[in-house]
Every structure is written in structure tokens, then in C-alpha cells.
Structure 1
Amino acid sequence: MSLFPFSEELVAERLRFENPWWVSGEVEQYYTDMSPRLYKELFYPLVVDLTVRRAVILMGPRRVGKTVMLFHTVQGLLEEGHDPQKIAFISIETPVYTNASLEQLFTLCRKTTGKEEPKGWFVFFDEIQYLKDWERHLKSLVDSYPGVRFIVSGSAAAALRLKSTESGAGRFTEFLLPPLTFNEYIHLLDLKMLLRPSRLEWGAGATGFYDALDTGKLNEHFLNYINFGGYPEVIFSKSIQSDPGRYIRSDIIDKVLLRDLPSLYGIKDVQELNSLFSMIAWNSGQEFSLEELSKRSGGVDKNTLKRYIEYLDAAFLIRKVHRTDNNAKRFKRVTHFKIYLTNPSLRSALFAPISMSDDHIGAIVETAVLSQWMHRDWIQPLYARWPRGEVDLIGLDQRTFKPLWAVEIKWSNRYFERPAELKSLLSFCAANNLEQAVVTTIDKQGIKECQGIKLTYIPAAVYTYVVGKNTLVQKEMRIGQRIV
């Protein structure tokens, strides 16, 4: 008797369809023609490192290219000479797989290919959230088949992370694929000719900057990135860009807020959650407190707001940035914080694309910069605020909690000509013995000294590119150290 709700042959036929390399030895050209995301270079080593007996969980927001990355990973395995009939891709949302367990599907793959020995296999389960109790199934597979690498992906990010943390200790390795960085946008559209290494250096030469060879053209693409650049599919499609709300809001935002299991976080009023997210999106980069959020949202209970923010954070839609003061002191009781969208194009989708002269452009440029820093899970950037001043972005030494660097994010050339007007930044640097700081501009670049502080000016687009590029380099080093 078949273990499947449909005939076993029907299921096997679907498996053959999803795995054309079982016959051809190749991934479909539709996927091989696509440029891989740069994050693939970080993900692939985790898949092929068989010294660690864990399943790899690829998670992230909707439409950031997780499925395409899985196919590019399959392509890499084939190019390295792995047996094509021991590589299986299974999309769990496919109707003929309904109610089938992961082990049943893996068993049928072995039976269909004739490769019965459960060793040397790479098994990819896409959209794993469609299987009830997937984490229990996956943990059992990891324990039962030590010679097999299991890789799963899912878009219900909040639920996926929660269940992975609860059930996968010691069995799962999580990998977050975020929205596109500006560096990846430049890479995918093959625009690297717009930049070249700069003589400017930061942090005693630890970080090299870039010169924009055509700042006007780079800023045009930076604005396009801000409005549409978070998702690979969108940057290549003019039709989607003409109506981003229809694509991003309905296919990405609404499904996260309405379908991706907000009940896990005790959320019953989805409309209330939706309203809160819209308000945050419009005000991305502003400082909030639970007291203020409660008033703005019509008196929603503070504990309820905490759950909403926790869910939106777990769903990779927003990030909180905590506050310190001009002496970088840590507050015992955190009452104020900033909230940023993890991807500035979410705002454009909810409301309308923004222009370079829009009143909100400064806050959205700040959101774009912070969205690159959010990819560094080993750093928690802060902002400093005190009664007479504010600095947009600071980094603390994790041992001494002393400031290491400071950045003022501006979409203006004014402060290049008038550095003395950067009173808050200069005051913060003096109070914390910082000898240098970074200031972003529209298109001015150079170094000036003011009140004994070296100010490195760099166009915001270039700085955003640099943060994303260096993040990937540092992530690659960290993954390499972990594997070695």
C-alpha cells in the first residue's frame, strides 16, 4: 500500500520533473543563465562541509532568491563531480507531496534513481514551512542518516526561526539570505565600472573606500536601489518597477503579515499589526518609544506592541537600533530606540517611489545605509542621542564598550563646505577621544580636519556600497575560520 495520498508513480514522476539532472546531468538553463547572488559564496561552503553533522536551513524574507540559490548550489555540486542521481530537489508546497513525510520523500528519491544506499546524498527541501512539524521530521533525518546532507529553505521566516531555535539545537545550522545589498545590486547589473578603489582609507587602512567614476550615474542607480533594489526579480523587471506595490506589497508584505503564522507570537489582530508596520515604514529611521507608539496606534497595549515588534523583527521586515548618549553610556532601562526597515524598497512599495528631492530622502538614505549594517550579525550598531545632539551611527568595542567609530549620514553637500556645523559629531568625537569620523554626502569626497577631528567625506551611495562589500568579505572570513 502506498504511503502517499496520490499514487507512488505519480509522486515519482513529479520528482523526476523537479530533478532533470538525474537524466541530463545539468540544471535547467533558466537558472544557470541567472547570475548567482554573492551570498552563494558564503552558503555553498556550509552545504559541502560534511565534517559537521547538521542540516542547513536557508531562511530569509520572501522573494530574495532562496530557491534560485538552491539551484545554483545544485549546479555547483554537479560541477564538482557529485553524482547527479544523488542530488534531490523537492518543493514541499507541491500538491502531490501533501501529507508525505520528509523521510518518505527521501526514500522514494532513492528508489526512483536506483541509488538506494543512503550515503553521499544532498537533499534539498524547498518551502519547508508547508510541512507541519517540519523541524521534528528534519531532526529525525539528521539523526538517522549521518552520511546525507539535508538542506531546507523557507519563507515563513519568523516561524522558521522560532521552530529552528526551539527544536534544532545542535542539529541545524541557520543561514540568513537578506534582501540585496547595494554591492549585490551593482554586481547583478554589472555596473562595477562605475567605481574604482580610492586612496581614501578608514581605520588605519583597515577599510578601503571607492571613487565613483560617474557620481551622477551611480546616484541614479542608488535611487533605483532605494526604490526597487531589495529583490533580484524587481531590478531586472521594468514592468514590476512600474507598479511595485502590486508585486512587493501583495506577494511579500501581505503574505508575511497575513499568512506566515503571526499567531506564534500571540498576534490575533492582524489588521492592527499591518497598521503598525505601515506607520513604521513611513517613519523608518525615526526614534520611537513604546509610549509614543501606543499613542500613535490608538492606545494599543505596550506588551502587545512588544509582540508586534518582535514578530516584524523575526520576519526580517524591521530592525531596532538601540540608543546611547554622548558618553556612550549604556542605559539600564531602554525606553527609546530607532526602527528601520530592513530594505528601503518596502517603503516605496507601500506608498510611492521616492525622488532625490523628496522631503523624506534623508531618512530613506539612512535606512539604506543601516540596511547594509544589519547584515553583520556580529555587530550591533547604535545611535547616540542626548539633549543637545545626535550622531546617526556608532560602533562600540565589545570588550570595553568604548566608541570605535562614528558616522553621520547626510544627503547633503552642505557639511563638506561647512564642517564646523557638524556640532554633534564633533562634540561626540571629542568626548570619546575619537580622532576621525565619516560623513556622507551627495557627491563630495575628501578629507577635512575640524577642531582636531579628521572628517572623511564620502558619497552616501559609495558608502552604502562599501559597507555591503566589506560585510561579505568579513562574513566569508568568519565562515572560513569556522570550517577550518
Structure 2
Amino acid sequence: MIKRESYMSRIRPFIGNELIKVLTGIRRSGKSVMLNLIQEELIDRGIDPRQFVSLNFENMSNAHLCTATALHDEILQLAKEIGGKVYLFFDEIQEVADWEKCINSIRVELDCDLYITGSNAKLLSGELATYLAGRYVEFVIYPFSFGEFMELYRTVYPGTADRQCFNQYLTLGGMPYLSNLRYDEVASSQYLRDLFNSVELKDIVKRNNIRDVDMLERIIAYITTNIGTTFSSTAISKYLKSEGRSVSPETVLNYIKGCVDAFLFYPVKRQDLQGKKILTVNEKYYVADHGIREAVFGGNMKDINLVLENIVYMELIRRGYSVTVGKVSEKEIDFVCEVRGRKLYVQVSYLLASQETIQREFGVFSSIRDNFPKYVVTMDELDMSRDGIKHCNIRDFLLAEEWN
């Protein structure tokens, strides 16, 4: 188990206070491990683990607690037996009917420190906004970054070179459990396919009452194949019609929203950098873990340019950047990134193999007049920086502490 300090450093200031700590993210991204790390932190601070109450609501032994009333009564009884302040850890809370009412009541009635996890973005919408508005803080837990993957991979295979680690990361992705399989390719692929099926059935189909599962699977396949490519719901609708399946653009959007809510896909809006406005058509989508893409659909090496783009995008949002696609006249900048008033521009390519490619990737920045950092990120080993634009090997970019 690695410490995932990038998350712990953000969670740590809230440990022990009255705000509810909500950990969200795609299924099996490591939310349960984060709860364990928080418990370790509390023990280090001198808290007796007998004050902890941990419940995973996907465990059948807790099925009798999956209503608000049953859970509320159980926690009040346990708190009475424990005495003093209690530390509550609820994993996959969305399995509890009307859980928001229960959490709000517990928060009011007990001296407690509350941590909950869930695999759906709707966790923080609807009733929760009514019951707990202003009383929670959210942390999205993503699959492993390349740095985290490499740290764990080297505990299994010590001394592996950075380049070899990255080649493995390209194929396997960053799902934490793969280390338990010793990164065996066949076993890892099977695990990732099963994980994908679980996300599809439990977090998309079941939660959204989707009846046409075949249509959902076709839409997921289309988006996954076209990650990093701008398209509209109308384009998907037309494509499916050509395949003999008629579906409205509105239905397509609803299905995509279900996938986004399950943290399978991340939408990225386009921004007109000259007009300084967000464009409302033709978003891009990236997949939460490129290892799932390879295991289920294949083609990571064939589409390596898009996969590298996906990896860089996930690293940017992992570090807290808000990201858009930049449009400048007819040109497009892959990522325009902002955090706390600072900007960063990133262009991603496979290799700068020709003068034409070099001109295209560097030239896209020619109309950007500000002095914020501009990067071209590729798999080239030689530094081709020019005109104040930094060229960076993707491994170095992903492992850099900061970009400036």
C-alpha cells in the first residue's frame, strides 16, 4: 500500500473536524485504501482504533443496514457502547436508501468525524445539496498516476527502468489492484474487463434504469474509440443510425451523462481563446483509465497519440487544474489549464518525427501572447525546445513536481 500523499495532503487539514469528508471516483480507484490511510493517520495522532466504525455497504453482511433508519439506529447504539467521539467510515454509501437523511442526523446527534465514499457523481447532487449544503468537502480519487504506478510496480519488480515502467503503464493503466496480480498481463486484462462490466452494470445501467444495454454499450464503444476527438451527440446518433440503430441525440446525451456520473468518462469543453468564451458544441471525452480501454477495446498502441493525450489529461485534473480545449482560429491547443490564477498550455504528440509535425505542434502557440508556460509533450528522448516553448518527454512531464 502506497501512501498517496498527494491526496492525504489535501485531506489532512479536515481530519478531526465537523465537515463530512466525501471521497468519490470510479469504482476500485482506491477510495477504500484512502479510508485505511486516514485511519492510520488518526492512530498516529493518538486516536484509539476502538473509536472507529467501518462499514462497506457492498458487503452482504451489512445488507440489513442499507436503509437510513437501520443504519442510524445501529450507529447510535455503537456510539453509545464506544463512548466519546466516534470516527465513522462508510464505504459505497450510495447503497443505503435515503443515506443523506441518516448522515445528516448522525452529524447533528453525535460527536463524530465522518468519512464516506461513493462511485457516482450524483452522490453530491439532489437531496445531499439540501441536507448537507456547506457541510461537506469532496475529494475525487483517481486511478494511479504514472508516479504512483511506478512506485508500486518497483515494489514487485525492483530496479525496473523508468522507460520500461512507462511501457507497462501504457498497456495496463493505473488501477491499484493490479499490483496484487503482479501485473500479469492476462490476469490484469481479465480483472479490468470485469471491473468495466461492474461499472457498466452497477453504476450506469442500474443507477439510471437503462433498459437498452446494447445501445449503451455501442455509445461507450464509440466514445472510448474516439477519446480526445471532438464530436457531438448528433454525430453519435448519425453513426448509430448508419449501424441500423435509431436513437435521438437527447438519449445519447442521457447515456453519456450516466457514464460521466459513474466517473468512466470525463468531458472537456472547448474554449475560444480569441473570443474568450466557452463553446457549447463538440466536447472531447477522456476515459478514467486507459488500461480499461486496452483491456476492453484494445488499440492503445494503434491510437497511441490519443492515449498519451488521455494520460496527460488525467494527470492535469489529478493535480487540480481545470482543463479546456483551446480553439484559436482553425487551430486547436490540446489543453488550456488553469489553477489559482495560473495558466498552462499543453500540446501532446507521439513523436516529432518530421519538420511538418514539429511546425504543427509548436506553431499552434504562435498566436498566444501571454507569458504562461507552454509545453509540447511527446515520447521523444531529445529536447527540441524552441522559441520559449518547452519540449518535454512524457515521462519527465508526468513525474515533474511542477510545471513552470
Q: TM-score range by the shorter chain?
A: 0.7 to 0.9
Equivalent of 1:352 in 298, 317, 331: 298
**Structure 2 stretches lacking a partner, 5+ long:** none
Q: CA deviation at 1:223?
A: 2.5
Asked if 1:343 is matched to 2:289, the reply is yes
Q: How does 1:73-222 map to 2 (within 5 A)?
A: 73-100=38-65, 101-110=70-79, 114-115=81-82, 117=83, 119-145=84-110, 147-155=111-119, 157-162=120-125, 164-165=128-129, 167-190=131-154, 217-222=161-166
Distance 1:420 1:470, change over 3 A: closer
Q: CA deviation at 1:73?
A: 1.8
Distance 1:225 1:166, change over 3 A: farther
- Structure 2 CA distance for aligned equivalents of residues 255 and 314 of structure 1: 14
Q: CA deviation at 1:44?
A: 4.3
Structure 1 contact 404–434 (Cα < 8 Å) conserved: no
Q: How does 1:370-449 map to 2 (within 5 A)?
A: 370-377=313-320, 379-384=322-327, 386-387=329-330, 389-395=331-337, 404-414=343-353, 418=355, 421-423=358-360, 425-430=362-367, 432-433=369-370, 437-446=374-383, 448-449=385-386
Q: Counterpart of 1:247?
A: 191
Instruction: Letter of the 1:429 partner, please give it.
Output: S
CA displacement 1:262-320 (0-9 Å, x = unmatched): 46556442332222112211221111122211112234211112212222112111112
- Structure 2 CA distance for aligned equivalents of residues 140 and 217 of structure 1: 52
Q: CA deviation at 1:420?
A: 8.3
- SS of 2:88's partner is strand
- SS of 1:234's partner is helix
Distance 1:72 1:353, change over 3 A: farther
Q: Counterpart of 1:306?
A: 253
CA displacement 1:423-473 (0-9 Å, x = unmatched): 464254335355863112323343643xxx32211111221233xx549xx
TM-score by length of 2: 0.85
- Structure 1 CA distance for aligned equivalents of residues 9 and 367 of structure 2: 39
Structure 1 contact 86–121 (Cα < 8 Å) conserved: yes
- SS of 1:288's partner is coil
- Structure 2 CA distance for aligned equivalents of residues 54 and 326 of structure 1: 38
Instruction: Letter of the 1:271 partner, please give it.
Output: D
- Structure 2 CA distance for aligned equivalents of residues 66 and 224 of structure 1: 23
- SS of 2:270's partner is strand
- Structure 1 CA distance for aligned equivalents of residues 345 and 152 of structure 2: 30
Q: CA deviation at 1:81?
A: 1.0
Distance 1:352 1:167, change over 3 A: same
Q: Counterpart of 1:237?
A: 181
Q: CA deviation at 1:411?
A: 1.4
Structure 2 contact 228–310 (Cα < 8 Å) conserved: yes
Structure 2 contact 53–88 (Cα < 8 Å) conserved: yes
Instruction: Letter of the 1:395 partner, please give it.
Output: C
Identity across matched positions, percent = 23
Q: CA deviation at 1:347?
A: 0.8
Q: Counterpart of 2:169?
A: 225
Distance 1:470 1:41, change over 3 A: farther
Structure 2 contact 204–258 (Cα < 8 Å) conserved: no
Q: CA deviation at 1:49?
A: 3.7
Distance 1:187 1:239, change over 3 A: closer
Structure 2 contact 52–88 (Cα < 8 Å) conserved: yes
**Structure 1 stretches lacking a partner, 5+ long:** 1-33, 195-213, 472-484
Q: CA deviation at 1:137?
A: 0.8
Distance 1:342 1:328, change over 3 A: farther
Q: CA deviation at 1:141?
A: 0.7
TM-score by length of 1: 0.72
Q: Counterpart of 2:4?
A: 37
- Structure 1 CA distance for aligned equivalents of residues 36 and 385 of structure 2: 48
- Structure 2 CA distance for aligned equivalents of residues 455 and 239 of structure 1: 37
Structure 2 contact 146–399 (Cα < 8 Å) conserved: yes
What is the aligned residue count? Answer: 392
- Structure 1 CA distance for aligned equivalents of residues 338 and 32 of structure 2: 36
CA displacement 1:397-419 (0-9 Å, x = unmatched): 998xxx9442221111426xx48
